[in-house]
Every structure is written in C-alpha cells, then in structure tokens.
A and B are shown apart, each in its own frame.
Chain A
Amino acid sequence: MQRRQFLAACGIGAGGLLLPGFRAIAAEQLVETVEVAVKKRLADAAMSAATAAGASYCDVRIGRYMRQFVVTREANVQGVTNTESSGVGIRVIADGAWGFAATNDMSAEAVAASARLATEIAKANARSQTAPVRLAPTPSLGEVSWRTPIRRNGMEVEIQEKVDLLLGVNAAATNAGASFVNSSLFLVNEQKYFASTDGSYIDQDVHRIFAPFTVTAIDRSTGKFRTRDGLSTPMGMGYEYLDGDAAHKSTAPNGVVSYGKSYDMREDAIAAARQAREKLTATSVRPGQYDLVLDPNHLGLTIHESVGHPLELDRVLGYEANYAGTSFATLDKREQRFQYGSEIVNLIADKTEVGSLGAVGYDDEGVRTKSWPLIENGKLVDYQATRDQAHILGKTESDGCSYADSWSSVQFQRMPNVSLQPGKVPMSVADMIAGVDNGIYILGRGSFSIDQQRYNAQFGGTLFYEIKNGQITQPLEDVAYQMRTPEFWNACSAICDERDYRSWGSFNDGKGQPSQSSAVSHGSPTTRFDGINVINTARSLG
C-alpha cells in the first residue's frame, strides 16, 4: 500500500483532499505571508552550512503551499478544506554530484543541519557517479520578486460567496434538466522563496484556480446515462476568472459557447444540462476517416500528450523509462530537422504567458523564464531543458523548466506551457467549418491515452458534432479518434487566426518517482486535421 492510501485508509486523508505533508488550516491563515527578511536569513544559514561542508553549489527553496477545496453536489456542500504545507528544501552539488534534503523545521539550526545532510548525500552519490553535474550559467539576480498578476485573490474571498456560486450553479443545472450535478472550486497559492549561491534571492507568489463541474443526465427507462463536464479550464489567475465577462466568450456556429480568460460557470452549467440530455439520444458515430475540427478546450490535451511530453529532455534521454516511458523524438531527430508536423505547425514552449498555469517569473532553480520554439514550420528544433541538461543540447543557458511540487520534493525538469501558434491567414471557426465536407467538430476534454514513446494515442471529447458539406448537422456520440503522432500533426491543414486563441490547462500532470504533480497550460486556436481515424466506442453488456 502506498503511504497516501494508508493515510486515506485510516482517515488521515480528511475527505481525500489532504495530501501528505499538508495540514488543514483556518481560512484566515490562507492570506498570511512570511516576511522576506526571515526567509533570506534562513536561506543564508543553509547556504553557509552547505558551503562549509564542502558544497560547490547550493540552492534553497522555502515554500508555503496552500490549497482550498470547496466540493458540492446538488444542494449539498460536501466539504470545505483548507490546507497548508511549509518547509525548506535544500539541493547541493558536492564532488560533482547532486544531494537533496528537506525539513519542515524552519529554525536556522534545522535548516543548516539539512544542508549538511544534503552535502553528505551528494558526496555519497558522487562515488558511483559516472559524469559530474554541469550547470549552465545563470545570472546573479540579487533580490527580486514576481507575483501572478491577479485582480482578486481567491483565498480572500469568503467561503459563503464560493458556496453560493456553486450551489447556484447546481440549482441552475438541475432546473435545466440535469439528473445530478457535482461542482467544485480548487484554489492554489504557492509562496515560494528561492536562493542560491549564484547570488539570487527570488520571492514569488503564484496563484491558480480551477472550477470544474460534471452534469449527469439519466434515462431511467433505458438505463442510459451521459455526462457533460464544464468547459472551463484551470488558469493561472485569481478569482476574477469567474466574473463571466462576455468579452471572453466564443460562440461556435451551432451556438456552443466556449470560454477564454473569463468563465461564466452558471451559463455553462445550464448549457451542460441541455447537452447532456441531447447526448442520450445523439446519433452513434459511423467509424471511418474524418476531417476533425478541434476546439482549443479539446486540442490542449492532445498537444500536451503528443508534443509536450515527447519533448521533455529527461524522457528523451531515458530517465523516465521505468514510469512514464521514453520518447520517439530522439536527439538525432532534432539534428535531422524531423518533420513533426505540416509546415503551418509552429509550437512554442513558454513560461511567461499571462493567465497560463506555467507562468512564473523564475523557475525552481532561479532561471528567468522565457519562450522558445519547439516546432518551427513543422520541423523539430528544440526540447525542454534545465540547467544541468542544457549542455546536452549544446546550449549555454537553461530553458527555465525546473519545478518541484513541494518544498519536500527535489526539483526536476517539468513541461512548460506548450502552445500552437495561430494561423497566419485570417480564418474564423465558421470559415474553417464551412470548408469541411465530412468532418467532426470536437469540444472539451474526454478520455485520453498514449503509449510510452508517445506514438499511438486515442482521444475522446466532451461534445461532438457532425459536419457535412460545410454545415454542422447533428450531435454525435461514441466518438474517439486514434492517431500516430507525426502523421496526426502532418495532417494539420488549417489553424484559425489569433482571434480564436484560447488556453486549456491541466492542474495535475504527473511525472517522476515518487510522482510529482505540476500544472501547465496549452494554448491554440481551433485547428483542422484531415483524414483522422475515428472509432465507435459503443458496446453492449447484453
């Protein structure tokens, strides 16, 4: 049994929402911060101890990670949980090897002791190390800070306002025909202080928000049921994401509403109830080849799995072989400028886009964040690297892709935002659909699965609509498409322009052993892929 399951089994999980190392706290504590001067003194204590013990490099992460969960179904609040986890993680290089230790004791003595332990571990690891760690240089930044540019701190919003929002959403969906509704709010605040012997002291205040719901419609007479999830996405924003600003809405030719940087949860829940009912009687798809028109709220996950993960350098090199796997996009393919997609396909890596989940000022090893191309005109040109990986790619600086999900986890290479750039030719969603003779328009996230080298994938969705001769004709059900990554991206024939650019994100992308979770966004406009294999997923249990 994993420790997490054990704690859950004995009830320590507090409703399954408390993660290891997290403790429940009162709401008012969610808005407290720790003085920067105090954190600097602790960091200096750790770096002095590490250096004295023989470390040639040391970085210190002092973290306070806070989460709030509000969980409801129909007219009931099932739980309100506030959690906090605070502590210090210290990473050093000694004798050319990494060492790491962490403590939740925030005294200078305990932090110094952990720094010495990390150095001792590094020296022990050095004995079997085949090549010393090579860190790409990064500028000394002095004392700097960064904050997610939020307009309203979700942690400061009263619980009652959140409960009223969710119960209002549930009531609206129920009134519109939903059999059941589950809705939630997840808020995250990471208060992260980073210091290193390179002379950087970085204070960051990172905010994220997610407001998911699921509406279920049931036909009791046939026993059939269908669900429709919300079309929101997790964002690197404050509570202002839930303002429902109509300026950020997109309406498809068939009236389906999608959302950009502002979400109207109640409106979406009402539409969900109607669409969930519609799904009960929708036509079951005829398998075959179709031209797919993929909404950004769907395409984000496909980008994540088929571009984001295969271009993680640690995976390419084999460090993830026992868990997530390796990658088909081997280093020789970069040298050969492998044709990953069609010539209109340009995908960038990014850690700066405002409102995205990956946006921070500096990564977890003190590197200022940036954007850089991964696929240019369809050709593979780059990967995602950290300071100790940059030299493998012949680079002189890190890409700023280092992240740890807790003060107690060692930082490693994590996916930045990976986004498809808008088409250069003016094109709306209506224009795109008008050009499709035999296609399916897919919105929202569904089932997803991809092999351990990121070749063969299968994706479902939330909403499916048949396109015939340039017109959306009817809703479809039982749709999933199967693809081989390079063929899929080379079948990309049109990309809407920047007016349709929107983000989709994942709150919990897992990687590593022990597994760590990270949050990442993927932007794109609506995009067309030609001749993709669609299967019918309906089965009968007799």
Chain B
Amino acid sequence: MSIMTQDEAKTILDKVVALSTADQCTARLGGSIEGNIRFALNNVSTSGVVSDTGLVVEVAFGKRVGTATINEFSDAALARVVKRAEDLAKLAPENPEFMPAVDKQTYRPSNTFVEATAAITPGQRAEIARASIEPCKAQNLIAAGFLTDNQSFAAFANSNGNFGYQRATDMDYTCTVRTEDGQGSGWVGRSLQDVSDFNAASDVNIAMRKAAASVEAQALEPGKYTVILEPAAAAGLISFMGGFFGARQADEGRSFLSKAGGGNKIGEQVYDPRVNLYADPWDPDVPVLPWDGDGLPRERMALVENGRIANLNYSRFWAQKQGKTAMGQPGNLIMGGGTKSTSDLVRETERGILVTRTWYIRMVDPQTVLLTGLTRDGTFYIENGQLKYPLKNFRFNESPVIMLNNIDELGRPVRVGDGLPMMIPPMRLRDFTFTSLSDAV
C-alpha cells in the first residue's frame, strides 16, 4: 500500500476534503519504498527496506490553521484525522502570514518515474555491493559504500478543487576506496533516476584509480591557486549558496543579495557573465515534481542570467506583500556550462589543482557567503595538462560568489545528487583560496 495508484489516492483525498467543515482543507498523501545497502571493510554491513505512507490534513478556520497526520485510511480513520485537524485549528493562534489554499491548477507532468528503478531487488543491491567490493579485494584495496534507491508517490487535493498526483524514483551511490596502509583514498558518486544507467564496476574503478594514485601526497603551501573543481566538488559550494536566494531575506537586509540602503539585487551583475543558474522541473536529467510544497506549479525559472540576478524565490506571503507574482519554489538547481569534460579541462591546464570532492562545508559569514570546508579523496597537482602528483588535502575559505567571478572555463554539466537534484559543470577557477593543510587521507 506504500505506493498508491492515482485512483486510490484520489478516492482517499476526495473523502478527506468532503469530510472537512473548515473554511479550507488541503489533504496531502505520500508514500515511499526506500531500499539501501551499506558496505565497509569489503563486507556488507547493513541492508534493508523501509516502506511508509502518510496522509497530512491541513484545515483553516479564518487564519487559524490545524494540521494532523495519519497512516490509516479507513473511513473511520479519515474522519478522525479531519476532526483532529479541525480541533487543533480552533485552538491555534491566528497566523498573520496565513495564505489560503491554492486555486485549481493545471500541472504539466514531468518524467520523474522510471520503472527499472522502482523494480530494483535486494539481489540487485547485493550485486552492486559485490561489484564494488570484489575488484577492490583483488587489488588489496578497501571499499566502503552506500546505495540507496527510492520510489515514491505524491498526491494532494484541496477544497478549491485542485488535485495532483505523480510518481518518482531515484538512486544514489557513493563509494570510498582506501589503500590498505591508509595512505590513499578515492571516491566516486553517482546520482541517477534510472538504475539501468548505472554500472558499479566501471564507477568503482574511478575511486580505485584515485585511491592508488593519491598515495605519498605532497604538501603544497596554502594560498591562492587555479583549481579544477569536479562537479561534485563544485556542487558543495554552489548548492550552499543556492539556499540564500530567498526574496524575503534579501528584502529584509540579511542576505548577500540585499542592497545597501534597502531592496534586493535583482537585475544586478553579481557573477561572471558566463554564470547561468536556473530551475526547471522538466529538465530531462534532473526532473522534479511540477508543483512545490504549497501546490503552486513550478516553472522554468532563471535565478542568474549571464551573471545578473534574474529572480529570487518569493513565498506566497512575501509575493503578495511585495506586489509580486508567486511562482512555485524551485525543486532543482541547474548551472549551465560548456561541452568539455573534467579530463578535457585538465588537459588544457598549465598549472593547477584538481579537486575530486569537497567536505564538511559550513557558512563562515552569511554577509559574503564565505564558506569553509576541505578537499577529500583525491587532490592532485596538474602540470602541462597532466596529473603530476597527489597533494595533501587543503582547507579552503572561499565564497562561491567570489569563486564565480573568477571563472577560467566551465565544462559540461553532470547530474549530482545528495539532496537537491543538480546539474553542475566541472569548472576551472582562478585564485581559489586554500588557507591551511590537512593531514587527513
């Protein structure tokens, strides 16, 4: 029952909306089946499947809102959950920022569901773990990794006659390979919607090669360097910055997108003109649901166009207050780029540092989005287009805003997982700021 059909979901949601006597009612139904397998020290450590389904009922009397949830769907249970939500609403304080349920909408479906991913079996998960571990064992390397796959559905209905239903799948795989003496470490990550596109044996090779090649790393003096950030390394900084495109924060004067004297930086040149950031629910590589948490339709929305701030994210409340039109909040983040791979960028680099992955990134100063973090699992010195030798890891203190003003070249975007679905290019950047060395391997 974790994954309901559209008809099953609609039957339940319609009953809930009909049961409510409140001024407004929105019912949301979601379910998922999530499988995973984890391995470490060349052994499977845990494996499991978690199924879950839940119904959230949100009702409003005037500006008083009540929410209740249940995971039973009998008529009696539905009546209970509606009553509970209504009881809570009557006791709740008024929310001055309350926004009524959205009107009836038309959603253009996005291709978020792939049957092959939904059909993954425990045997396939075990095979992926085996395909990761065996080649490592054969070369006296040690593998630790995690695969998680998910299929889900989302449906909702409200008292304005709005309704939506869609299914989705995704999978994420990561593997860290270390040498037996602990002196080398490599990593690979793959985020996909269709498990048929995944080949653990070829992916694990990337991590194995990096592990072997990163032994006997040399220390380089911290400072400003030309770097090539692989997509996973760049994504860590860019997704962090992407969380600060809220219009309200900017208008309130507490964002890097606030203007001195008041207002926000929409229309201003903030980045190199080659920077384009946007969200698109129908992007073929990172499709997401065509609605946001409030049920507003998502649209293709540019955040940065040719380096200028094109749009900020307005909540429905803030849009109304500011006289703007609210758009669905973005569900993905896509950065435009060129056609070159990471390898192409390396080949064309005279001197620089290749960064496989960034780690433990935290905000240091929200005024400038200064972030700190470290390189990890494969950092190499590049000379005349070749990886010359492995480097000890660095700590960086860098703002993605400054970093995206120091672009040398952007490569071809690839899908990056770990939370927000993203398309991020590899990038060669000037003057990236490393502030200290790390002894960690």
Q: A residues engaging B (CB < 8 A)?
A: 1-3, 5-15, 18, 20-26, 75-78, 80-81, 83, 100-101, 104, 121, 125, 128-130, 159, 163, 179-180, 216, 218, 220-225, 227, 317-323, 325-326, 328, 408, 410, 447-456, 458, 460, 478, 480, 482, 484, 513-514, 533, 535, 537-542
Contact = CB atoms under 8 A, between A and B. Distances in A.
27 contacts: A2-B419, A8-B293, A9-B292, A10-B156, A14-B69, A21-B52, A23-B69, A24-B68, A159-B91, A179-B253, A216-B254, A220-B261, A227-B366, A321-B142, A321-B144, A326-B182, A448-B362, A450-B360, A452-B359, A452-B360, A453-B440, A453-B441, A456-B374, A458-B435, A533-B436, A540-B368, A541-B402
B67 A100 contact: no
A12 B56 contact: yes
Given A12-B56, A319-B45, A322-B144, A77 B28 contact: no
Given A10-B30, A14-B69, A76 B95 contact: yes
Interface of B: 26, 28-30, 32, 34, 36, 38, 40-41, 43-48, 50, 52, 54, 56, 58, 67-71, 84, 87-88, 91-93, 95-97, 142, 144-146, 148, 150, 152, 154-156, 168, 170, 172, 174-176, 178, 182, 252-254, 256, 258-262, 270, 288-289, 291-295, 331, 359-368, 370, 372-374, 376, 393, 395, 397, 399, 401-402, 405, 419-421, 435-441
B176 A20 contact: no
A539 B433 CA distance: 12
Contacts of B97: 76, 78
A537 B397 contact: yes
B43 A3 contact: no
Contacts of B41: 317-319
The 6 A-B pairs at the shortest CB distance, nearest first, are namely A10-B154, A223-B260, A453-B440, A456-B438, A451-B440, A321-B144
Most interface-central of A3, A75, A410 (chain B CB within 10 A): A3
Q: Which of A121, A159, A410, A453 has the most CB of B within 10 A?
A: A453
Contacts of A23: 54, 69-71
B421 A12 contact: no
Given A77-B95, A180-B252, A449-B372, A5 B260 contact: no
Given A76-B95, A319-B45, A410-B46, A9 B293 contact: yes
Nearest to B395: A456
A322 B436 contact: no
A169 B365 CA distance: 25
B393 A451 contact: yes
Contacts of A15: 67
A5 B391 CA distance: 36
A482 B395 contact: yes
Contacts of B170: 1
B372 A458 contact: yes
B50 A408 contact: yes
B142 A318 contact: yes
Contacts of A2: 148, 150, 172, 419
Given A129-B43, A322-B40, A514-B36, A455 B439 contact: yes
A222 B28 CA distance: 44
Given A24-B56, A223-B258, A539 B365 contact: yes
Nearest to B49: A101
Given A3-B34, A9-B288, A14-B69, A322 B293 contact: no
Nearest to B133: A128
B88 A26 contact: yes
A24 B69 contact: yes
Contacts of A10: 28, 30, 154-156, 289, 291, 293
A321 B176 contact: yes
Contacts of B92: 80
Contact of B178 (A321, A410, A448): A321
A328 B44 contact: no
Given A129-B43, A541-B368, A1 B146 contact: no
